[in-house]
């Protein structure tokens, strides 16, 4: 691949929006994906409502990152020659990847290169893959959206089964060698929704094999004909680089386009438009089951526990939603539903739309104590007899048939005995491992006594008596308490040791008073270490 700048952020000024060009971008290599590029992607882009519908005054381009061999092989293909009548192809040479190269990072290098070119020219970047099919009219819809001022257009991205989908397209007469592939959104959905990949099948909320990490969550209105889907996986179909004053490409160093690239450059949700209906834009991308397959194995936790099963599945979604892998933008747009359908949307959809909205709303809030209790007994039912017996009583008798008094008794036992016991045992073992071989038991007991107030407060947080502060281990705490009223002995000792530095920088006390009177750290670790170094120099 030709060299590109290693700078993560490049500065530029925005350009006028009137009739700016569309830069279609793709990265591929090898005969197989070159065939997908011409026979699927280019073929569908040449349908009347796609690239041919764009205003010629825009002077659109197609940025192609591929090997020299693949580029030369494209020149004689009739569909590629037809494409060149509508857009100017721009070649970005890349070396053929080696066996040890990670495919995703190779793709990211190409995406970084074309994104920088699109940013430099203030164009509308359109990110597509060689095995992508767009319904007729999708590109015309993109042009309409950018003319309305939309800065980013996102489409839900899920996998479809290549082994069954492509033969279906051929059988129905859509795939014809050397001819544009023109297919309406509903015809495309009619085929696609009946040919989901096994990974996608695991995202059905009501399925007994619901995924442990559900990147998408969907419900069937009519199986194989219409679904309601919420997702964390989005294809950035259009990106308005003319709206950016600076361009952050750091995502491409270790991640992929569908990571936090959009959030880094367009953090405001109002700048992002989510395609909520497949009638507007429909796209399908394929994955071979022979290359990526998931066994659909039923799990009792996801099928046999009545209303507790729903609570458990909501907990799985909530865990992924709050995980570090999700950026704030993905969390904000997750509640937006997308309708994928091959028939008309009727009033019959209302009930399922209401149910899915309620479940997603529950997943986007913090769990109640009762929900925490339900999740805990389900998770611990494989290991604990008590949890298993409670679960059987609630599940098989039906939670709705168990009196509220009895449920409150279960929760009270859980809060007062089970949860504290498990938490304390875990922390004691962790501390024992920390101190093993480094200090004596007397020193360990002294440590507990010295920081007893801090430990007591942490215990109350874990028991739910006070609101948890989200304290992170790497920020200090058990092994290294921070300066605060929570750790008075540590704080007094540190302030006395560094009293000269503290007096010199006494302006910092104003910010301390603003932070809840000491319940947040007074000084950052960087400042503390700086003070330690200054004190050491003075002693020397």
Is the residue at 507 inside a domain?
yes
The number of domains in the chain is 2
Say what the pLDDT of residue 511 is.
53
Q: Is 154 exposed, middle or buried (0-12, 13-18, 19+ CB in 10 A)?
A: buried
Closest CA to 197 of 295, 293, 298, 132: 293
Mean pLDDT of 201-225: 95
Q: What are phi and psi of 286, to 5 degrees?
A: -110, 150
Mean pLDDT (the chain) is 83
How does residue 340 score in pLDDT terms, banded at 50, 70 and 90? very high
Q: Which two tokens stand for residue 448?
A: 């507990």
Q: What is the pLDDT of residues 119-153, one digit of tens each?
A: 999 999 999 999 999 999 999 999 999 999 999 99
Cα separation, 297 vs 371, in Å, equals 25
In the predicted structure, residue 405 carries a pLDDT above the cut 70 = yes
Is the residue at 108 inside a domain?
yes
Q: Kindly report the pTM of this predicted structure.
A: 0.74
Cα separation, 150 vs 270, in Å, equals 9
Cα separation, 297 vs 85, in Å, equals 50
Is the residue at 335 inside a domain?
no
Task: Compute the Cα dihedral for 247, 251, 256, 260 and give only its sign.
Answer: negative
Say what the pLDDT of residue 304 is.
78
Cα separation, 283 vs 82, in Å, equals 22
How does residue 497 score in pLDDT terms, banded at 50, 70 and 90? confident
When computed from its CA atoms, the radius of gyration of the chain, rounded to whole angstroms, is 29
Q: Which of 188-197, 220-229, 356-365, 486-495 has the lowest mean pLDDT?
A: 486-495
Beta bridge partners of 286: 160
Q: Is 25 exposed, middle or buried (0-12, 13-18, 19+ CB in 10 A)?
A: buried
Q: What are phi and psi of 449, to 5 degrees?
A: -70, -40
How does residue 196 score in pLDDT terms, banded at 50, 70 and 90? very high
Is the residue at 482 inside a domain?
yes
216-222 β-sheet, strand order: 216-222, 226-231, 338-341
How does residue 72 score in pLDDT terms, banded at 50, 70 and 90? very high
In the predicted structure, residue 205 carries a pLDDT above the cut 80 = yes
Is the residue at 204 inside a domain?
no
Q: Count the residues in the chain.
A: 540
In the predicted structure, residue 455 carries a pLDDT above the cut 50 = yes
Cα separation, 273 vs 277, in Å, equals 12
The answer to whether 90 touches 175, Cβ cutoff 8 Å, is: no
Say which residue, 263 or 485, is predicted with more confidence.
Answer: 263
Q: What is the pLDDT of residues 248-285, one digit of tens each?
A: 999 999 899 999 999 999 999 899 999 999 999 999 99
Which of 274, 299, 327 marks a domain boundary? Answer: 274
How does residue 16 score in pLDDT terms, banded at 50, 70 and 90? very low
The owner of tokens 């070159």 is 34
Whole domain around residue 471: which residue ranges?
439-539
How does residue 472 score in pLDDT terms, banded at 50, 70 and 90? very low
Which of 274, 297, 327 marks a domain boundary? Answer: 274
Cα separation, 278 vs 23, in Å, equals 23
Which of 253, 274, 295 marks a domain boundary? Answer: 274
Say what the pLDDT of residue 347 is.
95
234-240 β-sheet, strand order: 88-93, 61-66, 22-27, 124-127, 234-240, 152-156, 272-274
Say which residue, 61 or 368, is predicted with more confidence.
Answer: 61
In the predicted structure, residue 401 carries a pLDDT above the cut 70 = no
The answer to whether 43 touches 170, Cβ cutoff 8 Å, is: no
Is the residue at 14 inside a domain?
yes
Closest CA to 26 of 57, 59, 56, 71: 71
Is the residue at 184 inside a domain?
no
> Do β-strands 283-287 and 9-11 pair in parallel, antiparallel, or remain unpaired?
unpaired
The answer to whether 340 touches 229, Cβ cutoff 8 Å, is: yes
Q: Which of 78-87, 213-222, 472-481 has the lowest mean pLDDT?
A: 472-481
Q: What are phi and psi of 210, to 5 degrees?
A: -50, 135
- Spatial CB neighbours of 463, under 8 Å, sequence gap ≥ 6: 415, 419, 420, 423
How does residue 480 score in pLDDT terms, banded at 50, 70 and 90? low
The answer to whether 491 touches 484, Cβ cutoff 8 Å, is: yes
Other C-beta atoms within 10 Å of 396: how many? 11
CATH of the domain at 262: 3.90.550.10
How does residue 200 score in pLDDT terms, banded at 50, 70 and 90? very high
In the predicted structure, residue 539 carries a pLDDT above the cut 50 = no
Is the residue at 458 inside a domain?
yes
In the predicted structure, residue 116 carries a pLDDT above the cut 80 = yes
Q: HEC profile for 345-405?
A: CCHHHHHHHHHHHHHHHHHCCCCCHHHHHHHHHHHHCCCCHHHHHHHHHHHHHCHHHCCHH
Say what the pLDDT of residue 529 is.
53
How does residue 4 score in pLDDT terms, banded at 50, 70 and 90? very low
Cα separation, 298 vs 452, in Å, equals 47
What are the percentages of helix, strand and coil residues in the chain, rounded to 5?
Answer: 50, 15, 35
Identify the three-state secondary structure at position 384: coil
Cα separation, 200 vs 195, in Å, equals 10
- Spatial CB neighbours of 447, under 8 Å, sequence gap ≥ 6: 435, 439
Say what the pLDDT of residue 434 is.
60
DSSP conformation class of 196: B
In the predicted structure, residue 533 carries a pLDDT above the cut 90 = no
In the predicted structure, residue 307 carries a pLDDT above the cut 50 = yes
Cα separation, 451 vs 488, in Å, equals 8
In the predicted structure, residue 300 carries a pLDDT above the cut 70 = yes
Mean pLDDT of 399-408: 70
Q: What is the pLDDT of residues 18-41, one digit of tens each?
A: 689 999 999 999 999 999 999 999
Say what the pLDDT of residue 114 is.
97
Mean pLDDT of 74-81: 96
């Amino acid at each position: 691949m030709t060299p590109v700048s290693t700078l993560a952020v490049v500065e530029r000024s925005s350009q006028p929006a009137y009739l700016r060009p569309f830069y279609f971008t793709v990265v591929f290599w090898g005969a197989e994906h070159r065939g997908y590029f011409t026979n699927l992607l280019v073929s569908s882009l040449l349908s009347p409502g796609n690239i041919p519908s764009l205003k010629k005054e825009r002077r659109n381009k197609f940025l192609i990152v591929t090997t020299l061999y693949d580029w030369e092989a494209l020149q004689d293909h009739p569909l590629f020659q037809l494409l060149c009548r509508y857009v100017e192809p721009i070649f970005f040479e890349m070396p053929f990847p080696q066996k040890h190269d990670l495919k995703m990072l190779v793709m990211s290098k190409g995406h970084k290169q074309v994104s920088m070119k699109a940013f430099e020219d203030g164009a509308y970047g359109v990110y597509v893959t060689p095995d992508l099919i767009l319904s007729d009219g999708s590109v015309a819809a993109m042009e309409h959206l950018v003319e309305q001022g939309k800065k980013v257009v996102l489409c839900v991205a899920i996998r479809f089964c290549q082994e069954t989908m492509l033969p279906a397209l051929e059988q129905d007469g859509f795939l014809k060698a050397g001819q544009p592939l023109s297919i309406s959104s509903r015809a495309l959905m009619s085929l696609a929704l009946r040919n989901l990949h096994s990974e996608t099948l695991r995202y059905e909320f009501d399925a007994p094999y619901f995924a442990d990490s559900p990147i998408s969550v969907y419900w069937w209105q009519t199986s194989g004909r219409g679904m309601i889907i919420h997702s964390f996986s989005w294809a950035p179909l259009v990106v308005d680089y003319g709206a950016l004053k600076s361009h952050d490409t750091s995502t491409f160093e270790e991640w992929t386009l569908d990571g936090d690239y959009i959030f880094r450059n367009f953090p405001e949700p109002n700048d992002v438009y989510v395609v909520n209906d497949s009638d507007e834009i429909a796209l399908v991308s394929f994955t071979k089951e022979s290359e990526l397959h998931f066994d659909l194995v039923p799990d009792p936790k996801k099928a046999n526990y009545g209303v507790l099963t729903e609570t458990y599945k909501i907990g799985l979604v909530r865990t992924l939603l709050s995980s570090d892998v999700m950026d704030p933008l993905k969390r904000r747009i997750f509640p937006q539903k997308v309708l994928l359908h091959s028939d008309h949307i009727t009033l019959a959809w209302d009930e399922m739309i209401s149910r899915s909205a309620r479940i997603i709303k529950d997943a986007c809030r913090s769990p109640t104590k009762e929900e925490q209790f339900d999740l805990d007994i389900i998770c611990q039912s494989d290991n604990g007899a008590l949890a298993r017996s409670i679960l059987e009583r609630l599940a098989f008798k039906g939670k709705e048939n168990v009196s509220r008094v009895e449920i409150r008794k279960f929760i009270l036992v859980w809060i007062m005995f089970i949860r504290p016991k498990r938490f304390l045992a875990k922390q004691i073992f962790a501390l024992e491992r920390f101190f093993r071989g480094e200090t004596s038991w007397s020193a360990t007991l002294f440590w507990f006594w010295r920081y007893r107030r801090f430990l007591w407060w942490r215990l109350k947080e874990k028991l739910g008596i006070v609101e948890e502060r989200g304290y992170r281990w790497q920020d200090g705490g058990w092994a290294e308490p921070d300066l605060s009223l929570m750790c008075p002995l540590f704080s007094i000792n540190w302030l006395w040791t560094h009293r000269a530095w503290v007096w010199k920088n006494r302006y910092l006390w104003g910010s301390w008073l603003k932070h809840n009177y000491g319940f947040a750290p007074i000084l950052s670790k960087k400042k503390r270490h700086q003070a330690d170094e200054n004190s050491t120099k003075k002693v020397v």
